[in-house]
Every structure is written in C-alpha cells, then in structure tokens.
Amino acid sequence: MSLTIDQSKADQLVKQLQGYQAQGINLDDALQDLIASPAMELNAVGAANATKQSVTAGTRFAITPDIMGFAVKVLNDKITPLKMAILAKALYGNPSAVVLAVLGAFPAIKADEMGKLLIDPQVYPGITYADMKDALNAGAYSPADIDAVLISIFGPPALPIEVNFINPQITCTNASVQTGPGSMFNKAYGGSWIMHFPGASFINVSYNHTKNGFSKVNLVMLELASMLSGHAGYAPIDIYVNNQLVLGNYNGAGGYQWDTFDITRFAVEGNNTISIKFCRGASSNYWLRILRVEHKK
C-alpha cells in the first residue's frame, strides 16, 4: 500500500489553515469553508495574509481528502484515526474519502485497522460490501489484504450455485436437481430442457445457503415460453422457494431471456429448495436453459 500526497499543495493548505486559526476560526469550520469551494485559491505567502479574504493570486486546486488529512495532522497532532475518520465523513460524505483522509494523516495504518474504522458506530456501521471494497481500493491496499478484511467483516464469499440444462445430462454446481413427469431434454431444438405436462411437470433445485454477510439473494433463469402458431405462447410457471410461493402464473417471453427474481425473504440458513412448477392451462411448452442463485453483498 502506498499513497503519494502532493506535498506542495499540502503545505499550502497548512498555511491557509494557520491563517484561519490566527483569526480565531475553528479548524473544522475553516475546512468546511475551504472545501465548500470546488477549487479554493490558496496562496503560499505565509500565515499572516494567507486568509481566504486576502488572497488575490495563487494556485487553484481542490482540497482532496488526503491533503486535508495531512494538513489536519500537522496542525493537531493529538487527533486520532477515529476522529479523523469522523471529520472526513462530515466533510466529504463517502467511505473512500474517509480512507484517503485517514491515510493522509496516518500513512502506516493497515487494511484491517482501516476496516474497523469504517464500521465504527460513529462512521459507517452499515457500510455495504461494495462500498467497503471500493474504499479500501481507493487506499491502494493489496488485493490480498482487501479480501482478508472483507472476509473478516462480511464472511466468506458465496459458492457459485448453477444448474445447466443445455445438454441431455444436467450439470450442477453446488446444487442438486430433481425433474418431474414430462420434464425432458428438448431433442427437437436442443440447448434446454422443457416441461411438457401442464399441472404435472416440475423442476426442483436444492442448494445450501448461508446468510452471513449477504443482503440479497436472487434467482436468475435463462428461459422462454414456446411460441404458438407464430404468436406468443402461454406456458406459465409457479416459482416456489421452500414451499413458499414467490411468483405465480408467470409467463415468459417467446425467446430466451434472463429473468431475475428476488428470493431474499424466502431463503433460509442451510438447505433450500427452489421449485419450478408448470401451471395447468398452459397451451405451449416451457423451456429452461440455465438456473442460478446469486448472492449480493
């Protein structure tokens, strides 16, 4: 991990803040004032006249979180990483900026320590997996260190769960499948299995689920409802998860399409079963090519 700060700009900001302090202006208020301007004009002419009001010339630049962190640490060597994180959150409002500000002040702070800072109750206790990953990437930590932090906070990544119906022999990844009457490989066209008996055909997929760190679970299927005499067909299905109806009488498109269904509230810790049931009254066949369970953090 390495973070390079523009030292010239950092020194200019220090002098600018010293000018504010000379006028009795609180450091936090001074920063709020300066950062509110997208490209505050700073002048390295010394603390005596380096105030916002007196500057007439100088180098224009945005006050980035790393520069801010460095300058604050110079002016307040008692500040802690947590206090810096809280300040950066107030000034910039996003986790990546917090990481950069803390590193600007404390360049040796490790990835696991940064992760604990981000989830502190005063910073981002409900931070998402994606935001945590983006923030640590912004800090230029190594992929191995980032992965270790993510696992320690959110738990291990989910195993891929997929059932592939493209061939006569169904292939399963971290899942098992059971097919009912009239559920068979589509010999006429290939590349899928069909459900042919309305009210009787079904496909069940079982898999193991862990809720640790996962905020959303999606059922994703590549499927179609057969056309009927050149017109849209009618091949509705009921989707159940653990014997609870997720969606009833769903009729897919006449061509293969990816459909995504949120099954978060139906998934349980441990063994789960997804049931695709071919509804009574269907007038064309239902085809299924791929079924996946995707875990989102």
Q: Which residues contact 200 (CB under 8 A, 6 or more apart)?
A: 180, 181, 182, 278
Share of the chain above pLDDT 70, in %: 88
Task: Please provide residue 271's backbone torsions phi and psi, each rounded to the nearest 5 degrees.
Answer: -75, 135
- Where exactly are the structural domains of the chain? 7-154, 161-296
pLDDT per residue as tens digits for the range 145-164: 999 999 898 877 778 899 99
Query: For position 46, what pLDDT does the model report?
Result: 37
Q: pLDDT at residue 290 above 80?
A: yes
CATH topology of domain 161-296: Jelly Rolls (2.60.120)
pLDDT per residue as tens digits for the range 182-216: 999 998 887 999 999 999 999 999 998 776 656 78
Listed residue (90, 111, 100, 123) closest to 153, CA to CA: 111
C-alpha to C-alpha distances, 252 to 18, 214, 260, 264, 272, nearest whole angstrom: 66, 28, 12, 21, 24
pTM: 0.61
Six-digit token pair at 88? 């950066």
| Distance in angstroms (rounded) separating the CA atoms of residues 248 and 239 | 6
Query: For position 130, what pLDDT does the model report?
Result: 86
Task: Give the DSSP H/E element, type plus range, for residue 19.
Answer: helix 7-22
Q: pLDDT at residue 275 above 70?
A: yes
Burial class (CB in 10 A: 0-12, 13-18, 19+), 5: middle
Query: For position 230, what pLDDT does the model report?
Result: 63
Listed residue (176, 195, 103, 119) closest to 153, CA to CA: 119
